[in-house]
Amino acid sequence: MQKNSALSQPKRGELPQLNMTANSQNLISALRHGLIVSCQAPVDSPLHDPLVIAAMAQASVNQGAVGVRIDTPAHIQAVRKQCPTTPIIGLWKQQIPGSEVYITPQFHHAQAIALAGADIIALDATLRQRPGGETLSELIPRIHAELGKPVMADIDTLESATAAVKAGADVVGTTLYGYTASTQHLQPPGFELLSQIVEQLDVPTICEGGIASPQMAQQALQLGADAVVVGTAITGIDWQVKAYQKAMREGYEL
């Protein structure tokens, strides 16, 4: 794997001064055609613990994951400590009253996850109104200029992907396909959306959401994804056990 200078660690509380273009390119090539494991857990789960999340991240890296996707500053900090050179896509899920945007909604959330050690800042890049009124085309350049970090735009449609690229996103991800009012009738993974982005936009694209088997991850690459994020199918014990339980109970009661 190419040595990624962007991943060298700044001193605590410091943000690195980076050449954004070189930084983004290094990161994208470090992730190329690889598996990124999303190590997250529901807040009411015993797995929602920095040490547990860091152990899941380390286990993923040991088996060949090229990066991890991590929620909250505390978990990012723990993973950064455990896996000093692993690319971390960081986010911070925050529900803000009156807004549907919850993945890294505002600049100060991006700043907190950058300081915690994230290499790439993932944020909601749907066309929905952001809390605080900051637009995507203000937020992304601000993250570049003040935090020196590339941005992964979590989109739901081709329109939002196009707007994100125009706003300066370094990578787009199909993360929110199926999770917004305009896409809730659709079932992830967003393979059709992925194909449209690959055909129509010139931007590195990550297939994320609903990848439930190695074969599906393979299919995403064949459709042109630059990398694939898998969460629930690998690290989602709570969700998986619930699904098994439900299906078995239903089958038994029939």
Ligand X SMILES: CC(=O)N[C@H](C=O)[C@@H](O)[C@H](O)[C@H](O)COP(=O)(O)O
**Contacting residues toward ligand X, per CB under 6 A:** 38, 40, 69, 91, 175-176, 179, 208-211, 229-233
Cis peptide before 141 (omega within 30 of 0): no
Count other Cβ atoms within 10 Å, centred on residue 64: 9
Question: Nearer Cβ to ligand X, position 38 or 77?
Answer: 38
Nearest distance from residue 81's CB to ligand X, in Å?
A: 21
Q: For residue 254, how far is the Cα from the chain centroid?
A: 39
Q: Please name the residue that has the structure tokens 């694209």.
A: 205
Nearest distance from residue 91's CB to ligand X, in Å?
A: 6
Q: CB nearest ligand X: which residue?
A: 231
Would you say how long the chain is, in residues?
Answer: 254
Nearest distance from residue 57's CB to ligand X, in Å?
A: 14
Question: Nearer Cβ to ligand X, position 18 or 92?
Answer: 92
Question: Nearer Cβ to ligand X, position 168 or 209?
Answer: 209
- How many whole angstroms separate alpha carbon 152 and alpha carbon 143? 11
The residues pairing with 141 across neighbouring beta strands, listed in sequence order, are none
Nearest distance from residue 230's CB to ligand X, in Å?
A: 5
Question: Nearer Cβ to ligand X, position 114 or 176?
Answer: 176
- Please give the single-letter amino acid code of residue 113: I
> Among 58, 56, 67, which Cα is nearest to 32's?
67
Question: Nearer Cβ to ligand X, position 18 or 220?
Answer: 220
Nearest distance from residue 235's CB to ligand X, in Å?
A: 8
